[in-house]
Amino acid sequence: MNAILIPRATVAVDLEDLTLDLICFNHAFAALGDRRLAGRLTGYVEAALDANPGLARNAAIERGRMVVLPEFVIETAAPAVRLWD
């Protein structure tokens, strides 16, 4: 198994009505460089909620708020080796 790391970051919300899942996706995409892998992450938004107590009170995050995105490790399986490839 391989592990991919998304580094910890503090992000300033600079647009109106952003949601936490979009903030997490944008950070993961910037760190990974793979839109498909960033879209399939599970548990990253929940980890971000744990790192930001009280953030879940509002559906949209107000402009100017600082959001802490925790370090996140993704376990990936080794690529399968096939005899006919």
pLDDT in tens, 49-71: 999 998 888 778 989 999 999 99
Q: Is the pLDDT of residue 77 over 80?
A: no
Q: Are 69 and 5 in contact (CB under 8 A)?
A: no
Look at the pTM and tell me if it is higher than 0.75. Answer: yes
Cα distances from 48 to residues 33, 53, 71, 77, 80, in angstroms, run 20, 9, 9, 24, 32
DSSP lists the bridge partners of residue 74 as 4
DSSP assignment, residue 18? Answer: B
| Cα separation, 4 vs 41, whole angstroms | 12
Considering only CA atoms, which of 23, 6, 8 is closest in space to residue 69?
Answer: 8
Q: Supply 29's token pair.
A: 């995409």
What pLDDT score does 38 carry? 93
Q: Are 7 and 68 in contact (CB under 8 A)?
A: no
Lowest mean pLDDT among 17-21, 26-30, 43-47, 76-80: 76-80
Domain boundaries defined on the chain: 2-76
Higher pLDDT, 42 or 75: 42
